[in-house]
A and B are shown apart, each in its own frame.
Chain A
Amino acid sequence: MADTGVIDSYLADLDARLRGMASTKAELLAEARDGLVDAAEAHEERGLTPLDAQRAAIEEFGPVDEIGREYQAELSVAQGARLLRSMLLALPAVHALWELTALWSIGAWDQHFGTKTPPWYLSFAWANDRVVWLSSAIALVALLGCRWAARNGVDSRRIARMPAVAGAVALGAVLVVELALLVATAVFDPHRLNGPLPTGLATLVSLVVAGRLLVLTVRSFAYSAGSRDERRATI
């Protein structure tokens, strides 16, 4: 099929409605184009003109707003799954990096800084040690939930927002507990905030990773919000 102008125009309209990871979006659109060209070629073989064949293929494919909602939901869930997988890998890795760096460069905190840690501070340290596992568990459960929904015929539009919410809760818990630990440290011994260079670098890595996860979370919300708005518009 030489001229695919009608199909290309339809796909450009679909493309303009979709927001999501560029690679996933490109694959979805490439596959849609293949299907439309295949259908148009089949119609041409049945005797339609090239123009009518393309129009018939598009009509069978479905209205662009309806199909766009289905594609957007898939893009939203794909972005959410990427966020959750990133959290599962990054949160324990960054926590382990910081703890090992502190163990190597600081060792016993009271001895290193010459101050005694008050008992109330240990609650903050306890929470900080465990929140990363709680957040990882939230991400894992949400990821498994997405897989269960995909296996059991749950419409992707119904769960498009769930990974973003789970990711925000998981990341929010880590950030709140770490901020609380930071404030607690500043309250009882600000000197401890000026640790050795290796822990400073590990902290920098933690902040970069947290920033990246925050960006992924915001994108997940943005993509799922687009899907929800379009869904609401049709009700």
Chain B
Amino acid sequence: MKPDALRGHLDALLLATLDGAALHGYAIIEALQQRSGGALDLPTGTVYPALRRLERGGLVASEWATVGGRQRRTYRLTSAGRKALAGERTAWREFTTAIDGVLGGGPWPTPA
């Protein structure tokens, strides 16, 4: 999947990855790639500034923690982040339902 197509959804994808788990940057990237079967292919370096932006917006919080013997910045969802994620999921379902109704239904019936 092209990086440009992903950019508009990156925030929602990052929030979804953190749903129920506190993860450090590389673990978030691994989770994104695993859950998408490797289809989400964007420069991994763009994830870190995006996480900072989400933190600035109060949607995630971070703290330095020792993971695997190393000090790493670990991110978790805030209550505002959980609310934003729920909103993103609802909007995505509505969007895919609408698009699927047009694209996924096969050819239009021809008028008699």
Docked complex Cα distance between A77 and B24 (Å):
23
Docked complex Cα distance between A32 and B45 (Å):
7
Instruction: Indicate whether A62 reaches chain B with its CB closer than 8 angstroms.
Output: yes
Instruction: Indicate whether A21 reaches chain B with its CB closer than 8 angstroms.
Output: no
With a CB–CB cut-off of 8 A, which chain B residues contact A151? 57-59, 80, 84
Other-chain residue from B29, B50, B56, B80 in contact with A146 (beta carbon distance below 8 A)? B56
Most chain B CB within a 10 A radius of its CB, from A38, A61, A81: A38
**Contact at A74–B52, with CB atoms within 8 Å?**
yes
With a CB–CB cut-off of 8 A, which chain B residues contact A156? 49, 53
Docked complex Cα distance between A19 and B109 (Å):
60
Decide if the interface of chain B is mainly helix, strand, loop or mixed. Answer: helix
Other-chain residue from B24, B26, B80, B84 in contact with A39 (beta carbon distance below 8 A)? B26
Q: A27-B73, A151-B58 are in contact. Are A35 and B52 (CB under 8 A)?
A: no
Interface-located stretch among A65-73, A112-120, A123-131, A190-198: A65-73
With a CB–CB cut-off of 8 A, which chain B residues contact A32? 45, 48
Interface residues of A in 23-45 (CB under 8 A from B): 27-28, 31-32, 34-35, 38-39, 42
With a CB–CB cut-off of 8 A, which chain A residues contact B57? 147-152
With a CB–CB cut-off of 8 A, which chain A residues contact B10? 153
Interface string of A47-61 (1 = CB under 8 A from B): 000000000000011
With a CB–CB cut-off of 8 A, which chain B residues contact A149? 57
Q: A66-B43, A151-B84, A153-B8 are in contact. Are A31 and B48 (CB under 8 A)?
A: yes
With a CB–CB cut-off of 8 A, which chain B residues contact A63? 43
Instruction: Indicate whether B54 reaches chain A with its CB closer than 8 angstroms.
Output: yes
**Contact at B25–A34, with CB atoms within 8 Å?**
yes
Docked complex Cα distance between A149 and B54 (Å):
10
With a CB–CB cut-off of 8 A, which chain A residues contact B48? 28, 31-32, 35, 71
With a CB–CB cut-off of 8 A, which chain A residues contact B30? 42
**Contact at A67–B56, with CB atoms within 8 Å?**
no
A4 to chain B, nearest CB (A): 13
Q: A31-B25, A34-B25, A60-B43 are in contact. Are A71 and B49 (CB under 8 A)?
A: yes
Interface residues of B in 14-41 (CB under 8 A from A): 24-26, 29-30
Docked complex Cα distance between A151 and B53 (Å):
8
**Contact at A70–B29, with CB atoms within 8 Å?**
no
B14 to chain A, nearest CB (A): 11
Docked complex Cα distance between A32 and B25 (Å):
9
Instruction: Indicate whether B72 reaches chain A with its CB closer than 8 angstroms.
Output: yes
**Contact at A34–B26, with CB atoms within 8 Å?**
yes
With a CB–CB cut-off of 8 A, which chain B residues contact A70? 45-46, 49-50
Residues of B participating in the A interface, judged by any CB pair closer than 8 Å: 8, 10-11, 24-26, 29-30, 43-50, 52-54, 56-59, 70, 72-73, 80, 84
Q: List 24 A-B contacts (CB under 8 A).
A: A28-B48, A28-B52, A31-B25, A31-B72, A34-B25, A35-B45, A42-B30, A60-B43, A61-B43, A61-B45, A62-B45, A66-B43, A67-B45, A70-B50, A73-B49, A74-B52, A146-B56, A147-B58, A150-B54, A150-B58, A150-B59, A151-B59, A151-B80, A153-B10
Give 5 closest A-B pairs by Cβ, nearest first: A62-B43, A150-B57, A38-B26, A151-B57, A67-B45
